[in-house]
Amino acid sequence: MQDDLAFRPARVLAQLVADKQISSVELTQHYIDRIQRFDEELNAVVVRTFERALADARAADEAIASGAALGPLHGVPMTIKESYVMQDTPSTWGLPAFKDNVADQDGLAVQRFRKAGAVFLGKTNVPVDLADFQSYNDIYGTTSNPWNTDHVPGGSSGGSAAAMAAGLSGLEAGSDIGGSIRTPAAFCGVFGHKPTWGIVPQQGHELFPGVPESDLSVCGPLARDAADLAVGLDVMAGPAERAGVGWKLDLPRARFTDLRGLRVAVWPSDELAPASAEMAGRVSDTADFLAAAGAVVSDTARPDFDARQGHMIYQSLLTAVMSSSQPIDKVPLMQARAAEFDLQDSSQEAVAARAAVMMHRDWIRHNFRRERMRLAWDAFFNEWDMLICPQFTVPAIQHDHRPMSERTINVDGVERPYMEPIFWAGLAIASYLPSTVFPTGLSSSGLPIGLQAVTGPYRDHDSIEFARLVSELNGGFAPPPGF
């Protein structure tokens, strides 16, 4: 069996299985062989469920033989981010305290993929608490980029993107609150989609049951083919059981079938997070070939809000989410608030309670500011169909396991703050917008450069289709050498 079979789109693999050109067992074994052959160097698929995968593949083949109705991913082997809940596997989020957190049943996302016919090979690596541009932890170790193992695959869905790029899986699902789907996709040269907030339930992507839907955070697919993102999104999206009693999702399909006449704004760089000359140049080059394809392109159109204030709103909302699971006395901002509002009762409990009240008040105020920002985006996307910008300021960075406060990002010879590039991820996250990352070829150093296409809320299929059309012109995904 030729290795290029492993790089075919998931929907093509499903058709090959359905047409009996290859069995699901053969395809599953092929991916297992590739994981065993290539993953020692990458360390992407850190939880392996090969026996269950082969058993499910046999069942998939038997279903075809019996003439059963087939789902869109019938018999397709896939992996999923470690943070998802899957029966008989741990969901640790890279936290040693949860190394024995083994699920006794599948979470919602895994259930939906299984119902669509997918076969799970295992789970892919993450950073500690899903909170880094790199993917390493004390439980599973370090994951590397298949284009250059001295470099990171991104985070927090780093194992997901590395597995996709290396041809170790047919499809993947990750999560994104700070670019965690899109940055790994950009670093590894694959496609990734951050859905409109709220259309994909977060149930089944959790450390323990009963966690409510989190602000900002989303779950979504990664793939080697833009059209596979649409398949993955359709599988994942839609209300969970409680909400499904009263509403259903009806996402519109893409409004266009070619680039001609499409209104595209481009944002190559920004003083808040300067992109490298090569990264900004790739945005401009993409704008040029879009114009040549008949699109209407502007490099000055921007939404009507102050970018600095918008980023501040995002950072404040993000801090609220990321600190929500920590004790109040362990969160620096809350500690400061506790001291600030230390009035008559100075007991630890009273001070902490006052701090929590003030934090919640501030969240509400930032939420009001976010709504004004969302209205500005609505007006912008009434005039423009798509915004193209960097996903990160540079291609994949090198491994750096120093304390985060000591790390920097080198942008054209200048050491810049490590977390600065999150500005580009936050453009879409803060206002709940969909965004699709697509590959644009390699940098001068031989690393992938991915850009993001942002569009209006619930227009997810527009940005996915845009990425598909662009990939027809620029070549789309290409396998890393040696895989």
Alpha carbons 474 and 382: distance in angstroms, whole number: 28
Which residues participate in catalysis according to the annotation? 81, 156, 180
Question: Which is it for strands 218-223 and 191-194: parallel, antiparallel or unpaired?
Answer: antiparallel
Euclidean distance between CA atoms 79 and 171, whole angstroms: 7
User: Closest Cα partner for 113 from 19, 247, 17, 233?
Assistant: 233
Reading the block at residue 148, the tokens are: 């250059």
Count the helix, strand and coil residues of the chain and give each as a percent rounded to the nearest 5. 40, 15, 40
Amino acid letter, 184? P
C-alpha span between 73 and 251 (Å, rounded): 20
101: tokens are 């957190």
**Pairing relation of β-strands 141-142 and 136-137?**
antiparallel
385 burial type by CB count under 10 A (0-12 exposed, 13-18 middle, 19+ buried): buried
Q: Quick check: 17 and 28 in contact, CB under 8 A?
A: no
Residue 361 neighbours by CB under 8 Å, 6+ apart: none
Residue type, 382: N
- Distance CA(28)–CA(382), nearest Å, equals 45
Task: Look at strands 435-442 and 191-194 and give their pairing.
Answer: antiparallel
Residue with tokens 């000591």: 406
Distance from C-alpha of 437 to C-alpha of 439, rounded to nearest angstrom: 7
442: phi then psi, degrees, rounded to nearest 5:
-100, 160
- How many angstroms separate the CA atoms of 223 and 221, rounded? 7
Facing residues of 463 across strands?
A: none
- Environment class of 138 (CB within 10 Å of its CB; exposed 0-12, middle 13-18, buried 19+): exposed
CB 91 within 8 A of CB 101: yes
Euclidean distance between CA atoms 173 and 317, whole angstroms: 24
Distance CA 7, CA 478 (A): 9
Q: Quick check: 426 and 357 in contact, CB under 8 A? A: no
